[in-house]
Structure 1
Amino acid sequence: MNWDQLLSLKRFGDTNKRLRKEQDEARLGFEVDYDRIIFSSEFRSLQDKTQVVPLSKTDFVHTRLTHSLEVSVVGRSLGRKVGELLLKKHPHLETIHGYKMNDFGTIVAAASLAHDIGNPPFGHSGEKAIGSYFKEGKGAKFKSYLSAKEYQDLCDFEGNANGFKILTESRNGREGGLRLSYATLGAFMKYPKESLPTKPTSHIADKKYGFFQSEKDMFIDVANELGLLKRNKEHLSFCRHPLAYLVEAADDICYTIIDFEDGINLGLIEEEYALEYLINLVRDNINATKYNQLSTKEDRVSYLRALAIGNLIEEAANVFMQNETLILEGKFETALLDVCKYKAQIEDIITISIKNVYQSKEVIDKEIAGYEILNQLLIAYGEVAYHSFKDEMSNYDKLLLKTLPENVKLSNASLYKNLITICLFISKLSDTNAMLLYKRLKGTIL
């Protein structure tokens, strides 16, 4: 792969090539990507979607929106740092094409901002609830109408693939979705493969999948424009865009440190015990005098968090540059932080977060409720999708159809498209709106 192609400013529907040196410096194409994401309704709904604690009413606990904003800030710093080093190594990118250090930061920031845009309500338990409905729930009856890959899309419903759909799906008046630059879409695609086969190798790009069959043509167009290397001749699988490693690192840094911070602030992790683990990440550059002057838990945690994030940004950039050649050749097979010098400290923190936060009673109880809410929504709207396909709409189906947004279209042409459309509709709901819709279907509120 080469950076000349990987930094493509092309957007869906372009007939002429967009050149970086011809861009308006006051409003660059990559900056437009960031703006389009942040003003989208799908991004706004993240303000009421679970990051760690579902339906939390505590103001200092992160939602998907605050998490995404923080990941974008970390991604911007990481992208700029790497961009500065890349331009020194490949000066023609600046002297001939006009790329700047900040371009890398903006691409990574935009992709980081969107990285969770496809996540359904109630966090990762929402993904599992959708998959379970099709795998062992009432949606299993649809299997005979679908291809193996279509059925796998649904059984292993993936927020990353759903995010790619949100960013690129055409509808009336909005051809090409948000029409982001292909460079940003490439950086967004952490798992550039289809749903089958599942995890064919231990390569990080095979961990999950990145697009539904409904977006297959768009995915291929993006991959070809960027010059992503094919990884397999038998199924659709490409090497990652190099900047996807930075998006992943920004996310890893934030959920490792900030979910841990939420656990401390919620009282799920004891302060003295927790601060010791954070200090292990920053021991080489902590200012002991300043730290000892901090009188509140929040201030102490905040200071250590800032230092830890700074250290991890520096380390992730170093690992990226040390392995840039392997990354461009598609031969770097792991996440950046998995081979960094802080790996042991990161693993210790994540282990504590899993035990004390992710598996806490409050989180589990609310995940169970979210699971039931999504299952019931899928049962109701799954029947609408099926009966629409069969031209057998009941009066109740027709009533439910009227509750869908105007841009949600079902037909008798494809059951797969109907089902993936319903999943998209449900995935866009905030936690609160999913709960309210569930109560309406149950008749408990009018």
Structure 2
Amino acid sequence: MNWEQLLSLKRHGDTHKRLRKEQDETRLGFEVDYDRVIFSSAFRSLQDKTQVVPLSKTDFVHTRLTHSLEVSVVGRSLGRKVGKKLLEKYPHLQEVHGFQFNDFGAIVAAAALAHDIGNPPFGHSGERAIGEYFKIGNGTQFQSKLTAKEYQDLCDFEGNANGFKILTENRKGVDGSLRLSYATLGAFMKYPKQSLPKKPTKHIADKKYGIFQSQKEAFTDVANELGLLQQGEGDDIRYARHPLTFLVEAADDICYTIIDFEDGINLGLIQEEKALEYLINLVRDTIHKEKYSALQHREDRLSYLRALSINTLIEDAVRIFLENEEAIRAGDFSVGIMEKSKYKAQIEDIIKISFEKIYKSEEVIEKEITGYHVLQHLLNTFISAVENHHNDSLSSYDKLILKVLPETVDYKTNHLYHRLMNVTNYISRLSDSQAVLLFNKLTAKTV
């Protein structure tokens, strides 16, 4: 893979090349990507989607929106620092093509901003709830009517693939959805492969999948434009990651490691003294002890350690990427950047505490149970109505249910997979509170 292609400014529907040296510096294409994501309705819904604690009413716990903004800030720093060094290593990128180090930061920031845009309500438990509706719930009735890959898309419903669908899906009069640059779309794709065939390997890109069957054409178009290395054969559509994806992932890893931990402290799930000691272990080589000792309030101590920890991990991630840049472009780097961190032991200690004290806490588990019940009921209600419409067996109740669906949801298509995916995508776009409110309206219950 070469950087000239990887930094493509092309957008869906373009009929000519967009050259970097011809860009308007006051409205740079990669920066437009960021604007388009932040003004999208799908991004706004993240303000009420779970990051750590579903349906949390406290004002200091992160939502998916605040998390995404923070990841984008870290991603921008990572991209700029890496970009500066890459232009020194490959000066023709600047001298011939006109790329600037800020371009790398803008691409990573935009992709990072969008990285959770496809996540359903209630976080990863929401993904599982949707998947299990089709795997072991009423959705099993559709298995024999779908291809293996179509059915797997639903059984292993994946927020990353849903995000790519949201960013690229055509609608009547709206081709290419947000029409982001292909460089940003490439950096967004953490798992550039289909749900099948499953090939369990230790390679980070094989951990999950990132493309629904409905987006194969768009995905292949982006991958070919960027010159991503094709690794699958025939109908096994699979590519190597865009190198900047590793920076998007690193930004996410850095933020959830440190900031989820911070939320646990603020929620009282992790004892302050113990928690601060873990953070101090991470920044022991860079902490200014006198400055830290002078801080009187927990909020100030935590803020100082958070900032220092994030900066420490940013510098380490940049080092790892640059040391492995050629292997990454060759598709030979098989782990996430932070797996190579010299602070790996400290990171693992923090994640272990977060898992035990936060993710397995009674409050989180109770809210996840609510999420399962809500999402599976919504799926069953809307899919039943849509299928009854297709089979000309609508009840009066079904007719009322269909009126709830936004006009953007195409449930009249004759293709079963698209009907199911469109309804599922609609439910996945709901915020946590919207999902609960809709459930309450349909059941006349309060949860």
**What CA distance in whole angstroms lies between the structure 2 residues aligned with 1:236 and 1:227?**
14
* In 2: Cα distance, 1:90 partner to 1:202 partner: 31
Residues 327-366 of structure 1: matches in 2 within 5 Å?
Answer: 327-366=328-367
Q: Alpha-carbon deviation of 1:140?
A: 0.8
Q: Which residue of 1 aligns with 2:126?
A: 126
Query: Partner residue of 1:239?
Result: 240
1:203 aligns with 2:199: no
1:10 aligns with 2:16: no
| Cα distance in 1, alignment partners of residues 207 and 391 from structure 2 | 36
Distance 1:167 1:295 in 2: 45
Distance in 1 separating the partners of 2:386 and 2:5: 40
Shift of 1:412: 4.8
Q: Give the structure 2 partner of residue 102 of structure 1.
A: 102
Q: Residue 256 of structure 2 corresponds to which residue in structure 1?
A: 255
* Match in the other structure for 2:187: 187
Q: Which residue of 2 aligns with 1:226?
A: 226
Amino acid aligned to 1:251: D
- Where do 1:74-223 residues align within 5 Å? 74-223=74-223
Gaps in structure 1 of 5+ consecutive residues: none
One-letter amino acid matched to 2:356: K
Task: Give deviations 1:245-272, integer Å, cap 9, x for gaps.
Answer: 0000000000000000000111100111
Displacement of 1:385 after TM fit?
A: 3.0
1:204-260 superposed Cα distances (whole Å, 9 cap, x missing partner): 111101110001100000000000001122511100000000000000000000000
Distance 2:59 2:191 in 1: 33
Do the aligned partners of 2:54 and 2:367 also contact (CA within 8 Å) in 1? yes
Does 1:422 find its partner at 2:423? yes
Tell me the equivalent position of 1:406.
Answer: 407
- Report the AA paired with residue 347 of structure 1: E
Alpha-carbon deviation of 1:397?
A: 1.7
- Opposite residue 37 of structure 1, the aligned amino acid is V
**Structure-to-structure mapping, 1:47-66, within 5 angstroms:** 47-66=47-66
Please say if 1:40 is aligned against 2:43. Answer: no
The residue matched to 1:242 in structure 2 has which SS? coil
Name the counterpart of 1:281: 282
Say how many residue pairs are matched. 445
Q: Match of 1:345, SS?
A: helix
Moved more, 159-168 or 396-405: 396-405
- Structure 2, unaligned stretches of length 5 or more? none
Instruction: Tell me the amino acid that sits aligned with residue 87 of structure 2.
Output: L
1:282-301 paired onto structure 2 within 5 Å = 282-301=283-302
Question: How many Å apart are 1:387 and its aligned residue?
Answer: 2.2
| 1:174 counterpart SS class | coil
**SS of the residue aligned with 1:134?**
helix
* Alignment partners' CA distance in 2, 1:262 and 1:440: 32
- The aligned residue for residue 384 of structure 2 is 383
Once the two structures are superposed, residues 402-422 of structure 1 have per-residue CA deviations (whole angstroms, 9 ceiling, x without a partner) of: 101111111251111000001
- CA distance in 2: counterparts of 1:286 and 1:379, whole angstroms: 54
C-alpha distance in 1, partners of 2:389/2:11?
34
Counterpart in the other structure of 1:326:
327
TM (normalized to structure 2)?
0.98
- What letter corresponds to residue 378 of structure 2 in structure 1? L
Shift of 1:172: 1.7
8 Å contact from structure 1 (residues 122, 370) kept in 2: yes
- Alpha-carbon distance in structure 2 between the residues aligned to 1:383 and 1:202: 40
Q: In 1, distance between residues paired with 2:203 and 2:16?
A: 36
C-alpha RMSD over aligned residues:
0.9
One-letter code of the match for 1:44? R
- What is the distance in 1 between the residues matched to 2:413 and 2:421? 14
Q: Tell me the amino acid that sits aligned with residue 328 of structure 1.
A: R
Instruction: Name the structure 2 match of 1:442.
Output: 443
Tell me, yes or no, if the aligned pair for 2:232 and 2:239 is still in contact at 8 Å. Answer: yes
Distance 2:398 2:201 in 1: 43
2:20–2:98: 8 Å Cα contact kept in structure 1?
Answer: yes
Q: Describe the SS at the equivalent of 2:237.
A: coil
Once the two structures are TM-superposed, the CA of residue 199 in structure 1 deviates from its matched residue by 4.0
Which letter does structure 1 place at the counterpart of 2:151? Y
C-alpha distance in structure 2 between counterparts of 1:440 and 1:136, whole Å: 26
Provide the C-alpha distance between the structure 2 equivalents of 1:8 and 1:389, rounded to a whole number of angstroms: 42
In structure 1, the residue matched to 2:374 is 373
Query: Which residue in 1 is equivalent to 2:23?
Result: 23
Which whole-Å deviations, capped at 9, do the CAs of 1:362-397 have from their partners, x for residues lacking one? 110111011100010011012123223333332222
- Determine if contact 1:6/1:226 at 8 Å carries over to the other structure: yes
Distance, in Å, in 1 between the alignment partners of 2:185 and 2:264 is 33
* Stretch of structure 1 that moved more, 124-133 or 375-384: 375-384
Say if 1:265 and 1:298, in contact at 8 Å, map to a contact too. Answer: no
Counting aligned pairs with the same residue, the percent is: 68
Whole-angstrom CA distance in 2 between matches of 1:98 and 1:389 = 54
Distance 2:413 2:63 in 1: 38
Question: How far 1:93 moved relative to its partner?
Answer: 0.4
Contact between 2:386 and 2:402, CA under 8 Å: does it hold in 1?
no
Q: Secondary structure at the match of 1:363?
A: helix
2:72 partner SS: helix
Secondary structure, aligned partner of 1:24: coil
